[in-house]
A = this chain, B = another copy of it.
């Protein structure tokens, strides 16, 4: 389980490591880690927060890296398709993946106060839901699991 993101940590390293890991993965798999894609990943890593495609586009625009929606969406598609980022359906927004490259069924803990997002592992192919799905004859392939609530910092600070 990867519930860092709420805990205090060396965030500079967090970004550097994230980018490095993805860069290596791309090299290993023959994927092109272009400037736009790198920059989008950095933006996503910046806050352990979900960013909307248009937030990202604004940043890219400021930096002269592209100005039209497809630029942002293509970079995001690339990152999502290759498991370097995830889409949070509930927010129509995106976060960097906590363990890039590993294929997994991610679950997310979203703080409704500070908007931080932590990633956890929740393989829905086991557990109670999977069991009743199996009983009904339903075969689960993918799952969106997004829990909303209060993170430790916010739940301490105020109700």
Contact = CB atoms under 8 A, between A and B. Distances in A.
B145 A145 contact: yes
- Copy tally for this chain in the complex stands at 2
Contacts of A152: 136-138
Contacts of A3: 132-133, 135-136, 138
A6 B149 contact: no
A155 B140 contact: no
A118 B138 contact: yes
Contacts of A31: none
A120 B145 contact: no
The size class of the interface chain A forms with chain B is: 35 or more
A26 interface: no
A140 to B, nearest CB: 4
Contact of A149 (B7, B128, B138, B151): B138
A102 to B, nearest CB: 17
Interface of A: 1, 3, 6-7, 89-90, 107, 109, 111-112, 118, 120, 122, 124, 127-129, 132-133, 135-152, 155
10 contacts: A3-B133, A3-B136, A6-B138, A124-B147, A129-B145, A129-B147, A137-B151, A142-B148, A144-B146, A144-B147
Interface pairs A-B: 7 shortest CB-CB: A137-B152, A3-B136, A89-B89, A1-B132, A141-B149, A144-B146, A122-B129
